[in-house]
C-alpha cells in the first residue's frame, strides 16, 4: 500500500475524531492536553500517570470518555491500608462444592482510575503494575485475562507528600506517558462555573464501541514512518543517555540515567496516534515533539546537581529537542 492509499484509509478511519472531541467537550471545558493524551494512550494500548492537584476534572474526563466509547469504568481510591486483594480479587471458599473459587476485584474493567496511586504500599502498586504489563491476574492456581481494551489512568497529588509511597523509577517505566496537568485559565473556569454550577443532566452519545478501539489500534500500527523519523526518535532517546555525544555536554552532570528502550517504542507509538488524531497517514517531526516530554519526563533520571539548580526533566528534554537535528 503506497502513502496515498494509507493516507486515504487513515482519513476514512479517523472520521469520528472531531465528533468524539465535540461529545467530550459537552461535559469537559478545556483540558485538551489531557484529553488528547488519554486518547493517544487508549488507542495504542498504553497507560498514563497524571500529576496534578485535586479538582482538575481527571475523574470526570475519563468517566466521560468511558461513557462515549461504552467502556466499563471503575475508580479506586488508593490508601495506605489497601491490600493487593482489594484490587485484584482473591479466592472465596464455596460451601456447596467445598472448593476455593476466584472472586474478581475491581481491576477487571476496561478503564481503571487509580486515584492517588502513591498512597498505596509497594505490594499494591506492584500488583497493579504487573497486571498492566501482563494484561492478566493470577488468583491461586487460576490465571484470568483482563478485559480488552484495558487502560489504567493513575494519578499522583504533587502537593501532599505525607503518607505517600513514591513509585520507583522502574515501575513508572510501565506507564507510556506521564502528564503534568495544570489549572484551567480564567475564561475556561468561568465556563466550568456556568456549566457545572447548576444541576443538569447532560446527555452523551455513544461514538465508538469497545471493539472499535481494537480496530483503531491495528490501523495506527500501519501508519507510515520514514527511516529518518525513526532515526530522529533514536537520537532524542540516546541524547538522554549520552548527551556529550550530541554536543550537549552541559547536560551530562544533570542526568544520572537516560531513558530506557521503552521510550523509543512509546515515542513511535504515540507519534503514530498523534498523526492519526490529526487525520494523517504518516508521522512528521511535530508529532515527535508533541509527545516527547510526556514519554521521557519520568524516564530521564536527574542528578542531585540538577535538583540543586532547580532543573527538572522537562528543562533537560526541551534542551535536547532544541539541539537534535530535525529531519
Indicate which CATH number applies to the domain containing 273: 1.10.8.80
> Does residue 230 fall inside a structural domain?
yes
pLDDT at 164: 65
Q: Which pairing describes strands 151-156 and 73-77: parallel, antiparallel, or unpaired? A: unpaired
pLDDT at 324: 93
User: Where does a domain end: 159, 182, 207?
Assistant: 207
Number of domains within the chain: 2
User: Where does a domain end: 163, 187, 207?
Assistant: 207
Q: Tens place of pLDDT for every residue, the chain, 327 residues?
A: 678 888 888 888 888 999 999 999 988 888 899 999 999 999 999 999 998 877 788 888 999 999 999 999 999 998 888 888 899 888 887 777 777 778 888 999 999 999 988 888 888 888 888 888 888 888 877 888 999 899 999 988 775 555 566 777 777 888 999 998 888 888 888 988 888 877 778 888 899 999 999 999 999 998 999 999 999 999 999 999 999 999 898 998 999 999 999 999 999 999 999 999 999 999 999 999 999 999 999 999 999 998 899 999 999 999 999 999 998
> Does residue 6 fall inside a structural domain?
no
Dihedral angle computed from the Cα positions of residues 129, 134, 140 and 141, in that order, rounded to the nearest 10 degrees: -170
| pLDDT tens digits, 151-188 | 999 988 775 555 566 777 777 888 999 998 888 888 88
Residue 151, CB-side half-sphere exposure with 13 Å CA sphere: 27
What is the Cα–Cα distance from 172 to 128, expressed in whole angstroms?
Answer: 12
Q: Which of 286, 260, 273, 318 is nearest to 38 (CA)?
A: 273
> Does residue 11 fall inside a structural domain?
no
160 plus 227 within the same structural domain: no
pLDDT at 46: 94
Instruction: Output the CA–CA distances (angstroms, integers) from residue 102 to 25, 94, 112, in the order listed.
Output: 40, 10, 20
Q: Strand, coil or helix: what is 99?
A: strand
pLDDT at 163: 57
What is the Cα–Cα distance from 313 to 254, expressed in whole angstroms?
Answer: 9
156 plus 229 within the same structural domain: no
24 plus 45 within the same structural domain: yes
227 plus 304 within the same structural domain: yes
Q: Where are the alpha helices (DSSP H) in 94-252?
A: 122-134, 169-172, 186-196, 210-221, 227-241
> Does residue 271 fall inside a structural domain?
yes
Q: Which of 100, 94, 129 is nearest to 112 (CA)?
A: 129
Q: Where are the alpha helices (DSSP H) in 70-108?
A: 84-88
175 plus 59 within the same structural domain: yes
124 plus 252 within the same structural domain: no
| pLDDT tens digits, 271-304 | 999 999 999 999 999 999 999 999 999 999 999 9
Which residues touch 225 (CB under 8 Å, ≥6 apart)? 268, 271, 272, 282, 283
pLDDT at 125: 84
> Does residue 8 fall inside a structural domain?
no
24 plus 166 within the same structural domain: yes
* Contact indicator for 82, 37 with CB cutoff of 8 Å: no
52 plus 201 within the same structural domain: yes
CATH number at residue 69: 3.40.50.300
User: Where does a domain end: 207, 231, 253?
Assistant: 207
149 plus 235 within the same structural domain: no
Instruction: Output the CA–CA distances (angstroms, integers) from residue 162 to 80, 83, 119, 159, in the order listed.
Output: 11, 19, 9, 9
Residue 221: how many CB atoms within 10 A of its CB? 11
> Does residue 128 fall inside a structural domain?
yes
pLDDT at 161: 58
> Does residue 10 fall inside a structural domain?
no
pLDDT at 160: 58
184 plus 297 within the same structural domain: no
Q: Which of 171, 67, 87 is nearest to 129 (CA)?
A: 171
163 plus 236 within the same structural domain: no
As a whole number, the mean pLDDT across the chain is: 88
Q: Which domain holds residue 298?
A: 212-323
> Does residue 4 fall inside a structural domain?
no
What is the Cα–Cα distance from 84 to 120, expressed in whole angstroms?
Answer: 10
200 plus 173 within the same structural domain: yes
Amino acid at each position: 500500500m503506497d502513502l496515498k492509499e494509507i493516507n486515504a484509509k487513515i482519513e476514512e478511519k479517523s472520521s469520528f475524531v472531531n465528533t468524539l472531541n465535540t461529545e467530550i467537550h459537552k461535559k469537559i471545558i478545556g483540558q485538551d492536553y489531557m484529553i488528547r493524551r488519554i486518547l493517544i494512550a487508549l488507542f495504542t494500548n498504553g497507560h498514563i500517570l497524571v500529576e496534578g492537584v485535586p479538582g482538575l476534572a481527571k475523574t470526570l474526563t475519563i468517566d466521560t470518555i468511558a461513557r462515549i466509547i461504552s467502556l466499563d469504568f471503575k475508580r479506586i481510591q488508593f490508601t495506605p491500608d489497601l491490600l493487593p486483594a482489594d484490587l485484584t480479587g482473591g479466592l472465596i471458599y464455596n460451601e456447596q462444592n467445598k472448593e476455593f473459587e476466584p472472586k474478581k476485584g475491581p481491576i477487571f474493567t476496561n478503564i481503571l482510575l487509580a486515584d492517588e496511586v502513591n498512597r498505596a504500599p509497594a505490594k499494591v502498586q506492584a500488583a497493579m503494575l504487573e497486571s498492566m504489563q501482563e494484561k492478566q491476574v493470577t488468583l491461586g492456581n487460576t490465571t484470568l485475562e483482563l478485559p480488552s481494551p484495558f487502560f489504567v489512568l493513575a494519578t499522583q497529588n504533587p502537593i501532599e507528600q505525607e503518607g505517600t509511597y513514591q513509585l520507583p523509577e522502574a515501575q513508572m517505566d510501565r506507564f507510556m506517558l506521564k502528564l503534568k496537568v495544570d489549572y484551567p485559565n480564567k475564561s475556561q473556569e468561568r465556563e466550568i462555573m456556568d456549566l457545572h454550577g447548576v444541576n443538569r443532566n447532560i446527555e452523551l452519545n455513544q461514538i465508538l464501541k469497545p471493539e472499535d478501539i481494537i480496530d483503531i489500534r491495528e490501523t495506527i500500527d500501519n501508519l507510515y514512518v520514514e527511516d529518518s523519523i525513526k532515526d530522529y526518535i533514536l537520537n532524542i532517546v540516546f541524547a538522554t543517555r549520552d548527551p556529550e555525544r550530541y554536543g550537549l555536554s552541559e547536560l551530562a552532570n544533570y542526568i544520572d540515567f537516560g531513558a530506557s528502550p521503552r521510550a523509543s517504542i512509546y515515542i513511535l507509538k504515540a507519534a503514530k496516534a498523534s498523526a492519526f488524531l490529526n487525520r494523517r497517514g504518516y508521522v512528521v517531526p511535530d508529532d515527535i515533539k508533541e509527545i516527547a516530554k510526556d514519554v521521557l519526563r519520568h524516564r530521564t533520571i536527574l542528578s542531585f546537581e540538577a535538583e540543586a539548580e532547580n532543573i527538572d526533566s522537562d528543562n533537560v528534554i526541551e534542551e535536547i529537542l532544541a539541539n537534535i537535528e530535525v529531519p
